[in-house]
Amino acid sequence: MHYAKQIVYACLPFFVLLPVFFDVYWFAACTVSSSCSDAFPFVYRILILVFLFLVIGVIIWIFLINWHRIELTVSIIGVASDALSNNLGLFVALPCLAIGLVAYYAPIIVFLIFARHNGKTVPKESSDGEYSCTWKQDSWVPAYFALAVLTMLWSLTTMIEAQVYVISGTIAQWYFAKEEHSVPRGSIRSSLRNALCPSSGTISLSGLLIGVVRLVRTAVDTAAREDAPGIVNLALQCCVNSLLSSIEFLKKFTVNLAAITGEAYCTSARMSYELLKRNLLSAVFVEIVSTRLLGGIVFIFSAVYAIATWGILKGATDLGVDSYFLALLAWAVLMLVLGFFIHVLDNVIDTVYICYAIDRDRGEVCKQDVHEVYVQLPISRNRTSLTSPTIGV
């Protein structure tokens, strides 16, 4: 945690080195392989090599022109890592919520298995006039399956929102602690208690909205892939996508603020929007830049680990093609583990951002090192100040 900035800076060169490695490796492997050489003549291989190097050059250019943003993002990640290092108990509490979800799923799955056995044997006439026996499920079984699947989806999104709530409540208690370097005792327990008792309705509503948005977006994307003709369908897709984007924007930071203030979902959504707008703060930089950089670092780190695994297996064993599958498995497992870590860190970044906005709204400085970093964030383009009262915690 204390070397988060150094780790991020160390991973940045691999955004260039890995594409160069794969580019050169493909060129050399294709030159050695007779089948590949026949499929891609030497001139074509040179053109592909040059084209890929041009793409790498564009990546370097993007890094250079956005270097100040990258440095700011790295500083934000460093601040969030420091906050997370003071609350490592989250890595125990959050998996416990996931285990609780699995335990909740167990009886649902058992009931689904037994539901399939509800029905009766009925005669069925074939095309040649002969009769045979077939199993016919009761009419309520498909509806029960649909209800169970929707319940499991809602439970999953609710569990994810509960994790966000616990992270936000814990980090906020650390941020607003009176002593500079103190960590409040029982902060994780109190956040869990609030998530499971007084704020369970807020978390359930947030999970329901996320589940509905994902279902509708999946349906819209499926319809778009089917290329349904007509200007009406196109206009409907645009309207639905705009509505879903608005809902996703409004829910951004809502659970974070609900964990801090204890307010209801709709009140927290309004307060978070007004809080950021009143202080001219934009959520775009924190939401997009930091998330994409963290996601890229996870991919790069996992790819380097997979390449190292493949190299060790290739040199020390005679697995042959199986070494590629093991390297791919190592990449997938590390992606899963680091993805969970990034999920936690990303929510810590959002929580610290909201805490900084509350500090700024009240004219206070609870964490000086946080203010030194977050004060460099770009302000919102909408400079319209609201007259609503300042927020209290």
The number of folded domains in the chain is 2
| 337-376 pLDDT, tens digit each | 988 988 898 899 889 989 998 988 888 888 888 888 888 8
pLDDT tops 60 at residue 54:
yes
CA distance 187 to 115: 43
Range of the structural domain that residue 348 is part of: 66-374
| 148-182 pLDDT, tens digit each | 999 999 999 999 999 999 999 999 999 988 776 66
Domain end among 24, 47, 65: 65
Whole-prediction pTM value? 0.81
Q: Are residues 139 and 33 in the same domain?
A: no
Q: Are residues 88 and 236 in the same domain?
A: yes
**Placement of tokens 């499971």 in the chain:** 196
Q: Are residues 79 and 193 in the same domain?
A: yes
Mean local confidence (pLDDT), 280-285: 60
Structural domain contains residue 380: no
Q: Are residues 4 and 128 in the same domain?
A: no
CA-to-CA dists, residue 300 to 12, 87, 291, 296, 345, angstroms: 9, 26, 14, 6, 17
Structural domain contains residue 385: no
pLDDT, residue 387, reads 37
Structural domain contains residue 379: no
Task: Name the band, by pLDDT with cuts 50, 70 and 90, for residue 104.
Answer: very high
pLDDT, residue 390, reads 41
Q: Are residues 76 and 212 in the same domain?
A: yes
**Placement of tokens 């009931």 in the chain:** 111
